[in-house]
Amino acid sequence: MPRKKPTVLASCLSDMDLQPATPRDPALLLMSDWQMARYISLLLCRVQQRLESQIMVNPGIQGLTANSTARVQNEEALTLGAPRDYAVAREAEVFAMTEALKLQDSIPDIAATSLVGVIAKLEMIVGADRDIGDPTDFPWPHIASVLRDLRAIAGGLPICRRSRERTRSDVARHWESAVKLVAALKEEGAAEFRGDAAVF
């Protein structure tokens, strides 16, 4: 059954435990979606790393494995299909990170309607820099300083709680997209191989 892709700001308000006085600021919704996308990409990264470890431990080449033949046969059921699963996990992680980057790119298009919303936007900007740059370079320490000042004046951000249902749904959505992509790439590769074989 195909899943309907959520819009950029389709964050479930039930996932956020907003302080009573906090307005429904679009910047807070954006930050909630951004945090969720980053969290999902980290989960999928861990899955991908575990599968990568399985492939490295048991590449399926008897001479390269430190395991005895009996142990390799026992583990074969666990690692069978691991290269395909690894490819799917890697692509699912890319889909999740791409979603986080799209949300990040939409920061300039979303107007904050409160100081807490401004804090949320700055948190995303500073948080994104942790992934791509040196936080000691200009202007990051300066932005972090402004962020500390704003937090001292306006207070912290509302507490965000991730629902398990939404986490599972987002992981499943990216996984399904990745399965389709890997299957399409495999089919495309097989078609090219058949075409090359026909030439000879």
- Per-residue pLDDT of 106-151, as tens digits, reads 999 999 999 999 999 999 988 876 656 677 778 888 888 999 999 9
Structural domain for 192, as ranges: 24-112+171-199
* Position with higher pLDDT, 102 vs 10: 102
Q: Taking 80 as the threshold, does the pLDDT of residue 166 lie above it?
A: yes
Average pLDDT for residues 15-21, to the nearest whole number?
41
Q: What does the pLDDT read at residue 53? A: 85
Classify residue 13: in a domain, yes or no: no
Mean predicted lDDT score pLDDT of the chain: 76
CB–CB of 30/107 below 8 Å? Answer: yes
Question: Does residue 9 contact residue 30 with C-beta atoms inside 8 Å?
Answer: yes
Residue 177: the pLDDT is: 94
In a domain, 144, yes or no: no
Of the pLDDT bands very low, low, confident and very high (cuts 50, 70, 90), residue 158 is: confident
pTM of the model: 0.68
When mean pLDDT is compared over 35-44, 58-67, 162-171, 182-191, the highest value belongs to: 35-44
Is 105 a residue whose pLDDT tops 90?
Answer: yes
In-domain check, residue 71: yes
Three-state DSSP string of 62-115: HHHCCCCHHHHHHHHHHHCCHHHHHHHHHHHHHHHHHHHHHHHHCHHHCCCCCH
Residue 11 within a domain: no
Residue 123 lies in a domain: no
Collapsing DSSP to helix, strand or coil, 1 comes out as coil
Q: In this predicted model, what pLDDT tens digit does every residue of 23-43 receive, in sequence order? A: 589 999 999 999 999 999 999
Residue 68 pLDDT: 43
Question: Does residue 58 form part of some domain?
Answer: yes
Q: With the CA atoms of 48, 7, 126 and 97 taken in that order, what torsion angle do they form, in degrees rounded to the nearest 10?
A: 20
Could you give the number of structural domains in the chain? 1
Q: Are 51 and 10 in contact (CB under 8 A)?
A: no
| Residue 48 falls inside a structural domain | yes
Q: Does residue 29 lie within any of the structural domains?
A: yes
- Over 50: is that where the pLDDT of 63 sits? yes
